[in-house]
């Protein structure tokens, strides 16, 4: 008998895991179209700002839909103990009223009477807005869905026995729950009588609600009668003393967020003027999202597109690309494969890559960064966030190039190149230094000794140093001249010019001044002790 119970328990766990995996996969599929909807609203808001109220309603309900999907992902965290609490000071009553207002369209559609009563009207305390939002959302969703047309839904918020706790009650006069149903109501994947009216449930919402309430240090209970209605009671502590130090955030006030987690008034990208100096490759198999990104990012960058990794590689071979943005889940060749291909080949390893994905576990992030990704953005995302990440990566590349050009003495490893790019730069510098005094050492010989094509050498040097091939050779010669001056204090300028491959000392001095802002003789006077120049 014990053995049979163990088998049944094991089968139940396997079934629950299979269900959760199924819903997780569905969640990932739905996050991409929601990203499209959210980004489209952002664009409309920019083009026709006079409809602010409508955009607010759209964003609120997009956010609600996202929350339904993210419940599955949250549920996984709850099962593994990875849910974290972060409370901050705020007005609980104002928060509850604001959240409840988002349900007005739903209750009106179902012809329900809806009321929110907070007594007192302001209740200050510590709470986690994200967790309370999910708790309230799940309870109100059930009250509205499993009610009769013309019924009522009522939210009551008050202090409990003392001001350290609040009592949240969500009441309806719907179908009610049987005694057997109440026993199993908070179990994972339970689909009893309460879930069979009007819609098909996932069996996740109330189980997650209970987990969130208990995470917040509270308790949840239910009273119900068949055909008379249901009332959920949630008791939560709101006094700071009930929370651990690491759970308290004094600086962050609970505020409403948009789908992306950014404030609803986030500034948008403006149209660029003049020529666009950078080219971006976008790889995304969802054409709607791809075209939306093209439309918005094309204002600042030259944009090339592909529907999968193979198309992307063809573009890389023919165009000078500064940065790649790629979805992970694509046909034929996915984003991880694209990333590895780019980072493992000398022709492309200098190109930054941003990966986009609806998969957002720690394992997914680890796989992305292990493949060489420079950034990882989860769907759904806000396009200004993507734009800012692109801008920052390109600025970082430019800063590295300036550092190389301006630093007279440096170690290549200190410039934080990738391993492949560091090896390339080390070989390039050594190659020029080997021919330092040879004035006939030129581009063709440099290309031949580096074992690369002319275009690859140019692209690599331009990306990593900001210099073309001839300018790179000249830069290395002039840096070598600085080192020689510090080692040989009394060297003649003409002798120095010949030592670093210049036939004309006057041309050498002109190049030196252009590069470092001073003549060689001035450099010696400023930086070389006990100098004697001729």
Query: What would the pLDDT profile of 46-79 be if each residue is shown by its tens digit?
Result: 778 777 777 777 777 777 677 667 666 666 656 6
The token pair that represents 111 in the structure block:
């012809």
Lowest mean pLDDT of 23-37, 101-115, 514-528, name the range: 23-37
Lowest mean pLDDT of 196-205, 393-402, 476-485, name the range: 196-205
Residues 326 and 373: beta-carbon distance below 8 Å: no
Query: Is 284 inside a domain boundary?
Result: yes
- Phi then psi dihedrals of residue 185, to 5 deg: -60, -40
* Mean predicted confidence (pLDDT) in 2-21: 59
Q: What is the pLDDT of residue 321?
A: 94
Shared-domain flag, residues 205 and 303:
no
Residues 222 and 185: beta-carbon distance below 8 Å: yes
Query: Is 73 inside a domain boundary?
Result: no
How far is residue 77's CA from residue 265's CA, in Å, rounded to a whole number?
Answer: 31
Q: What is the pLDDT of residue 268?
A: 28
181: CATH: 3.30.565.10
Shared-domain flag, residues 383 and 416:
no
Q: What is the pLDDT of residue 165?
A: 95
Shared-domain flag, residues 376 and 411:
no
Shared-domain flag, residues 310 and 362:
yes
Does residue 330 carry a pLDDT above 70?
Answer: yes
Shared-domain flag, residues 382 and 475:
no
Query: Is 74 inside a domain boundary?
Result: no
* Mean predicted confidence (pLDDT) in 117-146: 89
Q: Which residues contact 292 (CB under 8 A, 6 or more apart)?
A: 36, 39, 40, 43, 383
- pTM of the full structure: 0.55
Query: Is 59 inside a domain boundary?
Result: no
26 — pLDDT class (breaks 50, 70, 90): low
Shared-domain flag, residues 411 and 388:
no
Query: Is 440 inside a domain boundary?
Result: yes
Shared-domain flag, residues 475 and 433:
yes
Query: Of the segments 262-266, 281-285, 417-421, which one has the largest average pLDDT value?
Result: 281-285
Q: What is the pLDDT of residue 507?
A: 94
Shared-domain flag, residues 94 and 171:
yes
Cβ-count burial of 216 within 10 angstroms (0-12 exposed, 13-18 middle, 19+ buried)?
buried
* Mean predicted confidence (pLDDT) in 514-519: 88
Q: What is the pLDDT of residue 83?
A: 72
Cβ-count burial of 291 within 10 angstroms (0-12 exposed, 13-18 middle, 19+ buried)?
middle
Query: Is 265 inside a domain boundary?
Result: no
In angstroms, what CA-CA distances link 147 with 116, 141, 168, 322? 17, 10, 19, 56
Query: What would the pLDDT profile of 112-127 be if each residue is shown by its tens digit?
Result: 999 999 999 899 999 9
Lowest mean pLDDT of 218-232, 375-389, 493-507, name the range: 375-389
435: CATH: 1.10.10.60
Q: What DSSP string describes 2-61?
A: HHHHHHHHHHHHHHHHHHHHHHHHHHHHHHHHHHHHHHHHHHHHHH-GGGHHHHHHHHHH
Query: What would the pLDDT profile of 252-265 be if each residue is shown by its tens digit?
Result: 444 333 223 333 33
* Mean predicted confidence (pLDDT) in 325-343: 92
The domain boundary, picked from 193, 223, 241, lies at 241
Q: Is the model more confident about 288 or about 469?
A: 469
Q: Is the model more confident about 122 or about 181?
A: 122
Does residue 179 carry a pLDDT above 70?
Answer: yes
Q: What is the pLDDT of residue 266?
A: 30
The overall average pLDDT reported for the chain is: 81
Q: What is the pLDDT of residue 76?
A: 60
* Mean predicted confidence (pLDDT) in 415-442: 89
Query: Is 457 inside a domain boundary?
Result: yes
Residues 389 and 353: beta-carbon distance below 8 Å: no
282 — pLDDT class (breaks 50, 70, 90): very high
Shared-domain flag, residues 213 and 310:
no
Shared-domain flag, residues 89 and 235:
yes
85 — pLDDT class (breaks 50, 70, 90): confident
Does residue 172 carry a pLDDT above 90?
Answer: yes
Q: What is the pLDDT of residue 22?
A: 58
Shared-domain flag, residues 96 and 233:
yes
Query: Is 91 inside a domain boundary?
Result: yes
Shared-domain flag, residues 105 and 234:
yes
451 — pLDDT class (breaks 50, 70, 90): very high
The domain boundary, picked from 395, 422, 437, lies at 395
How far is residue 118's CA from residue 97's CA, in Å, rounded to a whole number?
Answer: 8
Residues 204 and 137: beta-carbon distance below 8 Å: no
Q: How many domains does the chain have?
A: 3
Q: What is the pLDDT of residue 25?
A: 61
What angle, rounded to 10 degrees, do the helices at 469-487 and 505-516 form? 100
20 — pLDDT class (breaks 50, 70, 90): low
Q: 432 is in which domain, residue-wise?
A: 407-527
301: CATH: 3.40.50.2300
């Amino acid at each position: 008998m014990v053995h049979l119970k163990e088998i049944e328990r094991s089968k139940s766990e396997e079934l629950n895991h299979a269900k959760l995996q199924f819903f997780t996969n569905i969640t990932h599929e739905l996050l991409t179209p929601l990203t499209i909807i959210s980004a489209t609203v952002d664009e409309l808001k920019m083009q026709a700002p006079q409809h602010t109220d409508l955009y607010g309603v759209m964003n609120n309900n997009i956010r609600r839909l996202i929350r339904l999907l993210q419940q599955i992902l949250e549920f996984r965290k709850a099962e593994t103990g990875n849910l974290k609490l972060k409370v901050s000071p705020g007005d609980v009553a104002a928060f509850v009223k604001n959240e409840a207002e988002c349900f007005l369209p739903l209750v009106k559609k179902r012809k329900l009477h809806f009321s929110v009563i907070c007594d007192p009207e302001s209740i200050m305390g510590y709470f986690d807005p994200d967790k309370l939002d999910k708790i309230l959302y799940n309870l109100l969703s059930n009250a509205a869905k499993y009610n009769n047309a013309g019924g009522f839904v009522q939210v009551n918020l008050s202090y409990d026995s003392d001001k350290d706790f609040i009592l949240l009650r969500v009441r309806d006069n719907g179908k009610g729950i049987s005694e057997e149903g109440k026993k199993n109501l908070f179990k994972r994947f339970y689909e009893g009588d309460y879930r069979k009216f009007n819609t098909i449930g996932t069996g996740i919402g109330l189980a997650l609600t209970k987990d969130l309430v208990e995470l917040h240090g509270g308790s949840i209970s239910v009273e119900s009668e068949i055909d008379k209605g249901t009332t959920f009671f949630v008791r939560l502590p709101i006094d700071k003393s009930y929370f651990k130090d690491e759970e308290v955030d004094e600086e962050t006030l609970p505020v409403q967020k948009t789908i992306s987690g950014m404030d609803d008034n986030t500034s948008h990208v403006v149209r660029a003027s003049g020529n666009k100096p950078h080219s971006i490759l976008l790889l995304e198999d969802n054409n709607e999202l791809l075209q939306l990104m093209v439309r918005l990012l094309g204002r600042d960058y030259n944009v090339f597109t592909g529907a999968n990794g193979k198309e992307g590689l063809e573009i890389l071979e023919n165009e000078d690309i500064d940065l790649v943005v790629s979805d992970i889940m694509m046909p034929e060749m996915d984003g991880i494969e694209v990333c590895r291909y780019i980072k493992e080949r000398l022709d492309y390893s200098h190109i930054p890559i941003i990966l986009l994905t609806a998969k957002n576990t720690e394992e997914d992030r680890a796989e992305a960064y292990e493949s060489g990704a420079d950034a990882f953005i989860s769907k759904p995302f806000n396009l200004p966030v993507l734009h800012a990440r692109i801008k920052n990566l390109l600025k970082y590349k430019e800063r590295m190039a300036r550092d190389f050009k301006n630093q007279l003495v440096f170690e290549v490893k200190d410039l934080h190149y990738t391993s492949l790019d560091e090896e390339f730069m080390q070989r390039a510098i050594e190659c020029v230094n080997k021919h330092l005094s040879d004035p006939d050492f030129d581009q063709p010989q440099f290309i031949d000794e580096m074992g690369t094509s002319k275009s690859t050498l140019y692209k690599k040097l331009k990306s990593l140093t900001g210099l073309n091939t001839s300018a790179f050779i000249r830069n290395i010669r002039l840096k070598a001249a600085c080192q020689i001056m510090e080692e040989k204090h009394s060297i003649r300028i003409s002798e120095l010019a010949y030592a670093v491959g210049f036939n004309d000392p006057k041309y050498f001095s002109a190049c030196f001044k252009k590069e470092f802002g001073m003549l060689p003789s001035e450099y010696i006077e400023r930086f070389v002790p006990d100098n004697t120049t001729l």
